[in-house]
Amino acid sequence: METVLWDRMRRLLEESDSCQGVIVTTQGQGLYAGITTALLQELQQESKSAARLVFHITNPHSDVEKSSDEQDTTTIENEAWQPAHVQRVRHHISSGLAMHDFTQNAHVVVPLELPTNERMSLVRASAQ
């Protein structure tokens, strides 16, 4: 799958006369951060003069944050808060490492925090 992606990207770059730049929008954590970093590194090698712009989208009300806040107040006596805090720390470390990789491989990184609620999905918030 990865080779197909890189082959298609190379073909697109070869077909164009000169690539002026690339805009990448990513959630920027976990699998998406790894794919984005690999894509930026490949673009850096294949098309050095092309500008690379990354929109790093974060959601302030993610499931990790909700679950840790809810568990803090309800189950602190039972010591069940520890898994939630470990997950929260992992989430922040993953986001920080992704941001570091993005800044190393892109020309411009724009962090965007999109407010969402039950009625508005992340896709709809990004469109607005």
**Between 68 and 48, the higher pLDDT residue:** 48
pLDDT at 106 over 90: yes
Where residue 65 falls among pLDDT bands split at 50, 70, 90?
Answer: very low
- Which residues partner with 108 through β-bridges? 53
d(CA 56, CA 36): 10
pLDDT > 50? residue 66:
no
Residue showing tokens 């470390």? 93
Q: What is the pTM assigned to this prediction? A: 0.69
pLDDT at 62 (0 to 100): 55
- CA distance linking residue 20 with residue 6, whole number of Å: 19
Q: List the Cα angle 99/102/104 in 5-degree steps.
A: 110
Q: What is the pLDDT of residue 69?
A: 47
Residue reference for tokens 């896709």: 123
